[in-house]
Amino acid sequence: MTDQEPLSVIIVNYNAGRHLAACIQSLMTNTPAVPMEIIIVDNASMDDSITRVRQAFPEVKILTNPENVGFAVACNQGIKRARGLNILLLNPDTIVLPYAVKDSLAFLSQNPEAGIVGCRLLDNDGQPRNSCRTFPTAWDYLFDSLFLTKLFPRSKLFGRFYLTNTTFNEPSEVDVVQGAFFLFKRQVMDDIGLLDERFFMYAEERDFCYRAKAAGWKVYFYPQAAIVHVGSICTRQQAPEMFIEQHKSTLIFHLKHDTLRDVAVIKVYLFLGVAIRLFIWTLLSIMRRRPGERSRQSIYLAVTRWYLARGIHLGFPR
């Protein structure tokens, strides 16, 4: 890596299989003329994903953990080893499309006030996935729990959280960009610190964006660049646990940045959403007896039990 626009790409891996090597190949092929180093942090994968990378890409740096330490911890391990002035956190289940990194990096460099940039995320069929969001309020969780965000995605009120009521044709300032492609200047990290390691999985990028904006940096969604995000390759292997982690991280975020009164209301709305979905999937699994419905029922049952075990406790979840 030279001193010209140095970039460090950090990929946290957990049993991503063939997707990890495909991600690296797309990154190298479709990122011309960008000096960069690639650092893989492996969270005790049990598949052959790291073996594949070692054989195909000997120049890639690989850090291995003896256990799954979580996304934020692993990212920080990679960041501490990184030499780049700009850092890209990239999911292993992504395919980088031509010039996505180069153009995003150029935008970041050309806009001094920009601290964080995210690109457009596409699914396997080329359809847009949720790429950016606002900071959620208690109302947003209520609307989501009642399915209003999905029923009325173009609504000014109900589409606010996921920004489904907005069409992005130009670079736009937003609150949060998704962590699948999360590009930021090292100077931002120097100002606000590393990712908060209390987030095992999920919401760490939301917290990082919140702290960055509080420090005066701007977060941009850059729709001219795009990647394909297969999604959930690493998390679907432990679905109930990962759903619980999602709720834990949501509560941690609001405990950090909101009042206890707000957190109490948010917790009620989150539990309401889980209870409604548990009822629906239980009913469907009884009526139709399909394996997928039973799986969903077990997920929401596990999350329900987690909430009931915590009761009214409003401290940081463990």
Residues 79-89 pLDDT 10s: 999 999 999 99
State residue 4's pLDDT score: 41
State residue 312's pLDDT score: 61
Rounded to whole angstroms, the Cα distance separating 269 from 267 reads: 5
State residue 33's pLDDT score: 84
State residue 291's pLDDT score: 76
Residue 117 and residue 16 share a domain: yes
Rounded alpha-carbon distances, angstroms, from residue 49 to 22, 24, 101, 168, 231: 10, 11, 23, 35, 16
Whether residue 84 contacts residue 36, with contact meaning beta carbons closer than 8 Å, is answered with yes
Residue 37 and residue 168 share a domain: yes
Q: Residue 302 phi/psi, 5° resolution? A: -65, -40
- Of 197, 229, 261, the one marking the end of a domain is 229
* Domain containing residue 201: CATH number: 3.90.550.10
Whether residue 147 lies inside any domain: the answer is no
pTM of the model as a whole: 0.93
- Of 229, 245, 264, the one marking the end of a domain is 229
State residue 252's pLDDT score: 96
Task: Record the tokens describing residue 60, joined without a space.
Answer: 């890639």
Looking up tokens 């999905």, which residue turns up?
150
Segments of the chain with pLDDT less than 50: 2, 4-5
Looking up tokens 């130009």, which residue turns up?
170
Nearest one of 35, 38, 32 to 99, comparing CA atoms: 32
Whether residue 181 lies inside any domain: the answer is yes
Residue 241 and residue 111 share a domain: no
